[in-house]
Chain A
Amino acid sequence: MKQIEAQRNILDFTLSSLFRRKGKNTALVLVYTLIVFLLASVMFFTHAIRNEAALTLKDAPEMVVQKLMAGRQDLMPLEYLEKIRAVRGVSSVKGRLWGYYFDPYFGVNYTLMVPGNEQIKPGTIVTGEGISKNRAVEQGDFQAFRAYNNNTLLFQITRVLSSESALLTSDLILMSEQDFRSIFGMPRTHVTDIVLTVKNPRELGTIANKIVQLLPDTRPIMRDEILRTYDSVFNWRGGLLIVILSVSVFCFVIFAWDKASGLGAEERREIGILKAIGWETSDIILMKFWEGVVVSLSAFLLGILLAYAHIFFFSSLLFGPVMKGWSVLYPEFRLVPFIDAYQISTLFFLTVLPYTVATIIPSWRAATIDPDLIMRS
Chain B
Amino acid sequence: MNKILFAVSIVVLLVSYAAAGDKKPVKPGAHDKCPVCGMFVAKYPDFLAQIIFKDGSYAMFDGPKDMFKYYLNMKAYNPSKKTADIDSVYVTDYYSLTPVDGLKAYYVIGSDVYGPMGRELIPFGKEADAKEFMKDHKGKTIVTFNKVTAVMLKELE
Contacts and interface: CB of A to CB of B under 8 A. Distances in A.
Interface size class of A (residues with CB under 8 A): under 10
Most buried by B among A88, A199, A203, A210: A88
A88 B46 contact: no
Contacts of A89: 95
Contact of A88 (B95, B97, B113): B95
Interface string B102-117: 0000000000010000
A149 interface: no
A88 B95 CA distance: 7
B95 A200 contact: yes
Contacts of A200: 46, 94-97
Interface in A346-373: none
Contacts of B97: 199-200
Interface size class of B (residues with CB under 8 A): 10 to 19
A175 B132 CA distance: 41
B94 A206 contact: no
Contacts of B95: 88-89, 199-200, 203
Nearest to A210: B136
A330 to B, nearest CB: 40
A188 interface: no
B129 interface: yes
A206 B136 contact: yes
A91 interface: yes
Nearest to A200: B97
B121 to A, nearest CB: 15
B82 interface: no
Contacts of B46: 200, 202
Given A200-B46, A202-B113, A88 B96 contact: no
Nearest to B128: A88
Contacts, number: 22
B137 interface: yes
Nearest to A91: B96
A332 B46 CA distance: 45
B133 interface: yes
A202 B137 CA distance: 11
A361 B95 CA distance: 64
A89 B46 CA distance: 14
Contacts of B129: 88
A373 B136 CA distance: 85
A203 B129 CA distance: 13
Nearest to B96: A199
A315 to B, nearest CB: 43
B139 to A, nearest CB: 12
Contacts of A91: 96
A94 B46 CA distance: 24
A88 B132 CA distance: 8
Interface in B42-58: 46
A206 B96 contact: no
Contacts of B136: 88, 206, 210
Interface in B74-132: 94-97, 113, 129, 132
A199 B96 CA distance: 6
Contacts of A206: 136-137
Contacts of A202: 46, 113
A345 B58 CA distance: 47
Nearest to B124: A88
Nearest to A89: B95
Q: Which 5 pairs of residues, A with B, have the shortest CB-CB distance?
A: A199-B97, A89-B95, A88-B132, A206-B136, A200-B97
13 contacts: A88-B129, A88-B132, A88-B136, A89-B95, A91-B96, A199-B95, A199-B96, A200-B46, A200-B95, A200-B96, A202-B46, A206-B136, A210-B136
Given A88-B95, A199-B95, 7 more contacts: A88-B129, A91-B96, A200-B96, A202-B113, A206-B136, A206-B137, A210-B136
